[in-house]
Amino acid sequence: MTLSNAERLLECAIEDRSTPGCHWYVAIEEGKEIGSAFHPADSSEALKELVNSVYQARVKRVYRSQDYKCFYCGKRRPLTPHHEKFRSHGGTHVQSNIVGACISCHDKKHKERSK
Ligand SMILES: [Zn+2]
Protein backbone atom coordinates (compact mmCIF):
# COMPACT_ATOMS: atom_id res chain seq x y z
CA MET A 1 0.00 0.00 0.00
CA THR A 2 1.34 3.42 -0.92
CA LEU A 3 0.38 6.78 0.56
CA SER A 4 -1.42 7.86 -2.62
CA ASN A 5 -3.34 4.55 -2.82
CA ALA A 6 -4.42 4.97 0.80
CA GLU A 7 -5.54 8.56 0.18
CA ARG A 8 -7.51 7.49 -2.88
CA LEU A 9 -9.19 4.65 -1.02
CA LEU A 10 -10.17 6.75 2.00
CA GLU A 11 -10.76 9.96 0.01
CA CYS A 12 -9.04 12.03 2.66
CA ALA A 13 -5.61 13.52 3.25
CA ILE A 14 -2.93 11.50 5.00
CA GLU A 15 -0.05 13.17 6.79
CA ASP A 16 3.28 11.44 6.92
CA ARG A 17 4.71 12.04 10.39
CA SER A 18 7.35 9.34 10.17
CA THR A 19 10.50 9.72 12.22
CA PRO A 20 13.64 7.60 11.92
CA GLY A 21 12.65 4.10 12.98
CA CYS A 22 8.91 4.71 12.91
CA HIS A 23 6.54 4.94 9.96
CA TRP A 24 3.63 7.00 11.24
CA TYR A 25 0.61 8.19 9.28
CA VAL A 26 -2.37 10.28 10.31
CA ALA A 27 -5.62 10.53 8.32
CA ILE A 28 -7.17 14.02 8.25
CA GLU A 29 -10.75 14.84 7.30
CA GLU A 30 -12.20 18.34 7.50
CA GLY A 31 -9.22 19.43 9.58
CA LYS A 32 -9.69 16.66 12.14
CA GLU A 33 -7.52 13.65 12.80
CA ILE A 34 -9.73 10.64 12.13
CA GLY A 35 -7.16 7.90 12.46
CA SER A 36 -3.54 7.13 13.08
CA ALA A 37 -1.31 4.09 12.61
CA PHE A 38 2.36 3.31 12.85
CA HIS A 39 4.76 0.47 12.20
CA PRO A 40 8.43 0.31 13.14
CA ALA A 41 9.69 -1.10 9.85
CA ASP A 42 7.06 -1.24 7.13
CA SER A 43 5.29 1.84 5.75
CA SER A 44 2.92 -0.33 3.71
CA GLU A 45 1.74 -2.17 6.85
CA ALA A 46 1.22 1.13 8.67
CA LEU A 47 -0.89 2.46 5.78
CA LYS A 48 -2.92 -0.75 5.55
CA GLU A 49 -3.70 -0.53 9.23
CA LEU A 50 -4.67 3.13 8.90
CA VAL A 51 -7.02 2.41 5.98
CA ASN A 52 -8.61 -0.44 7.90
CA SER A 53 -9.13 1.52 11.12
CA VAL A 54 -10.69 4.52 9.33
CA TYR A 55 -12.87 2.17 7.27
CA GLN A 56 -14.10 0.30 10.38
CA ALA A 57 -14.90 3.59 12.11
CA ARG A 58 -16.92 4.75 9.08
CA VAL A 59 -18.79 1.44 8.93
CA LYS A 60 -19.77 1.79 12.59
CA ARG A 61 -20.98 5.34 11.96
CA VAL A 62 -23.06 4.16 8.98
CA TYR A 63 -24.66 1.33 11.02
CA ARG A 64 -25.51 3.77 13.81
CA SER A 65 -27.04 6.24 11.33
CA GLN A 66 -29.25 3.41 9.99
CA ASP A 67 -30.26 2.52 13.56
CA TYR A 68 -28.67 -0.91 12.93
CA LYS A 69 -31.36 -1.81 10.36
CA CYS A 70 -30.68 -3.10 6.87
CA PHE A 71 -30.49 -0.24 4.36
CA TYR A 72 -32.51 -2.23 1.81
CA CYS A 73 -35.18 -4.22 3.68
CA GLY A 74 -35.25 -2.24 6.95
CA LYS A 75 -35.02 -5.35 9.11
CA ARG A 76 -32.87 -5.41 12.20
CA ARG A 77 -30.42 -8.17 11.38
CA PRO A 78 -26.67 -8.61 11.57
CA LEU A 79 -25.25 -6.13 9.09
CA THR A 80 -22.39 -6.39 6.68
CA PRO A 81 -20.82 -3.39 4.93
CA HIS A 82 -21.78 -3.00 1.29
CA HIS A 83 -20.05 -0.68 -1.19
CA GLU A 84 -22.74 0.88 -3.37
CA LYS A 85 -20.12 1.42 -6.02
CA PHE A 86 -18.31 -1.89 -5.89
CA ARG A 87 -14.66 -1.96 -4.95
CA SER A 88 -14.07 -3.86 -8.20
CA HIS A 89 -15.56 -0.88 -10.10
CA GLY A 90 -13.31 1.65 -8.43
CA GLY A 91 -15.60 2.31 -5.42
CA THR A 92 -13.78 3.69 -2.39
CA HIS A 93 -14.14 3.54 1.41
CA VAL A 94 -15.70 7.02 1.48
CA GLN A 95 -18.58 7.03 3.95
CA SER A 96 -21.19 7.91 1.31
CA ASN A 97 -20.25 4.74 -0.60
CA ILE A 98 -20.90 2.46 2.38
CA VAL A 99 -24.28 1.09 3.48
CA GLY A 100 -25.11 -1.59 6.03
CA ALA A 101 -26.96 -4.53 4.48
CA CYS A 102 -28.22 -7.78 5.97
CA ILE A 103 -26.62 -10.92 4.60
CA SER A 104 -29.51 -11.81 2.28
CA CYS A 105 -29.82 -8.28 0.79
CA HIS A 106 -26.06 -8.10 0.42
CA ASP A 107 -26.05 -11.41 -1.49
CA LYS A 108 -28.93 -10.20 -3.67
CA LYS A 109 -27.07 -6.98 -4.54
CA HIS A 110 -24.00 -8.89 -5.64
CA LYS A 111 -26.03 -11.40 -7.68
CA GLU A 112 -27.99 -8.65 -9.42
CA ARG A 113 -24.82 -6.90 -10.40
CA SER A 114 -23.07 -9.99 -11.75
CA LYS A 115 -25.92 -10.82 -14.19
ZN1 LIG B 1 -31.94 -6.66 4.17
Percent above pLDDT 90 for the chain: 94
CA of 54 to the centre of ligand 1 (A): 25
Ligand 1 mean position to 34 CA, how many Å?
29
Q: What pTM does this model have?
A: 0.91
What pLDDT score was predicted for residue 110?
A: 87
Q: Are 65 and 71 in contact (CB under 8 A)?
A: no
Q: How far apart are the CA of 104 and the centre of ligand 1, in A?
A: 6
In this structure, are residues 112 and 74 in contact, taking their beta carbons and an 8 Å threshold? no
Residue 93, pLDDT > 90, answer yes
- Give residue 36's pLDDT: 97
Distance 15 CA to ligand 1 centre (A): 38
pLDDT at 14: 98
